Amino acid sequence: MEFLKTFQTHDLYLASALKIKGFKLINLRKDERNHGIFIFEDCDDRPQLVKNYFSGELTGSLKAFSNAWADLKSLVNEIEMEEKNGKRK
């Protein structure tokens, strides 16, 4: 059985950047402080991509980034509503 490598982040903006660069979002969960954790399938070039993101060298479509941010934020909001309504734990 092959183990799936994952990368996790609390950072919605970094998660948006990963999403537009083709990283597959596997799950979104909350930690003990009730903060969202985005879990992505990892790959070998992710460390360099994250470094480029934080150094301001990452390039990509601003429209795609904005759309990814809105999609991920909507997902966070949906999970919060499910938890509030008792549909998710």
Domain edges within the chain? 6-84
What torsion do the CA atoms of 10, 83, 4, 23 make, to the nearest 10 degrees?
A: -50
Residue 89 pLDDT > 70, yes or no?
no
Instruction: Give the model confidence (pLDDT) of 15-47 as tens digits.
Output: 999 999 999 999 999 888 888 899 999 999 999
Single pTM value for the model: 0.87
Q: Report which of 39, 41, 42, 37 is spatially closest to residue 76, judged by C-alpha positions.
A: 37
Instruction: Give the model confidence (pLDDT) of 38-80 as tens digits.
Output: 999 999 999 999 999 999 999 999 999 999 999 999 999 888 8
What does residue 18 show for φ and ψ, rounded to 5 degrees?
A: -60, -40
Share of the chain above pLDDT 70, in %: 96
Instruction: Rank 2-6, 19-23, 82-86 by mean pLDDT and report only the highest.
Output: 19-23
